[in-house]
Amino acid sequence: MSTVTEPATGPQTGSSTSDLIARLRAQENRPALVGYLPVGYPTVDRSVEALKTLIDHGTDVIELGVPYTDPVLDGPVIQAAAQGALDAGARVRDVFRVVRELTEYAPHVPVLVMTYWNPVLKYGADAFARDLAAAGAAGLITPDLIPDEAGDWLAASETHGLDRVFLVAPSSTPERLRLTVAASRGFVYAASLMGVTGERSQVGSRAEQLVADTRAAGAVNVCVGLGVSTGAQAAQVGRFADGVIVGSAMVRPLLSDGPLTEDEWAARLTDLAEVTEDLAAGVRSARATAPTDPSAAVTPGGATTPGEAP
C-alpha cells in the first residue's frame, strides 16, 4: 500500500527539533527533555497553563497529546487524562489552537503532536499536516502508525515540512530499525521497554542497547520514552539518549476526580513545576563530570549553561 521513501532532507535533519537537539548536544552536552501532556485536560485553557509550566521549568520539547477513545499504547495515568479531556469536550481542532498559543509563547520550543492515527485519518492526513504546519507545530509522533502504513503521512509531512517521529521497540529487528530510521525525521522514539506508558521504578535495561542499535541503523537522534519518571532516571537515560521523554509523571500531578478550584489548580501547577524541575535537573546532570547528583545540576529553565566538554 505504501512505499517508504528516503526523505529528501535526509534522516532526521532539517527540522527545528533536530536542530535543537544538535544545539543542546554541541553547546550544553546534554539531552533534551521532552515533556508530554494531553490537550484539554482538565480543560483546554488549563492544559495550556500546564504546558506553559513545563516550558517555564526546563522542558525543551513539548509532546502534545491528542485525546483519543482507544489509546492502546497508554497506561492508566494517560488513559485517565485522555478520557477526562474527552469528557470535558476536547476536540481535535483544539490541538491547533493550543499549538499556536505555545509557539507564540515560546517560539524556541518545538511542539510535536502525539496522536493515534484515526483522528488524523478522519481529518485527512494532508489537511491535518497543513493545519498543523500553519499553527507552528514541528511535526507528529505516531504511536500506532508504522512507516509501512504511512504512505499518506510521508507525503503530507514532506509537503508541509513536518517532523515524523516513529517508534522503535526492543523487539524491532535490525531490518525494521533501518526502515523506521529512514522514514523518521526530527528524532526516533525508542521505547525503553516492552509495554505501555507509565511510571516504573526502573528504566528498561534494554533501552541502552536499543539506542545503540538504532544509531547503528543510521539514526542521528534517538530519544527514549516509556517508564521515565524521576530526575535520577532522566540522568541515567540521558547518558546514552539524545532526549528523555516523560509523560505519565507529568500528567499525574494534574489528575483529579472532580473539578478543581483556582487555588487547588495553582497547587497542582506547583507540583507539576517541581516534577519538571527534577527531570530538567536530571537531563542537565546526565553527562556532567561526576556521576550523578541531580541536585547539583544547573538551575533548570534558566539561561543555557554550557556543559562540560566530554
Amino acid identity of 279?
L
Shortest approach of another protein to residue 253 CB, angstroms?
21
Question: Of 26, 54, 17, nearest to 278 (Cα)?
Answer: 54
Shortest approach of another protein to residue 116 CB, angstroms?
8
CA angle 233, 239, 243 (to 5 degrees): 75
59 vs 229 by CB, closer to another protein: 229
The reply to whether 199 belongs to the active site is no
**Which of the following is catalytic: 28, 60, 63, 131?**
63
CA angle 229, 230, 233 (to 5 degrees): 95
83 vs 292 by CB, closer to another protein: 83
| Contact residues for another protein, defined by CB under 8 A | 1, 68-73, 75-76, 79, 83, 86, 91-92, 117-123, 143-146, 148-149, 166-173, 176, 180, 191, 194-196
The reply to whether 28 belongs to the active site is no
Shortest approach of another protein to residue 231 CB, angstroms?
25
CB contact set of 67 (below 8 Å; sequence gap of 6+):
38, 39, 40, 41, 81, 82, 83, 85, 86, 90
**Which of the following is catalytic: 60, 74, 94, 131?**
74
90 vs 279 by CB, closer to another protein: 90
Question: Of 217, 267, 274, nearest to 249 (Cα)?
Answer: 274
190 vs 250 by CB, closer to another protein: 190
Shortest approach of another protein to residue 165 CB, angstroms?
12
User: In this structure, what DSSP letter does residue 230 have?
Assistant: S
**Active-site residue list:** 63, 74
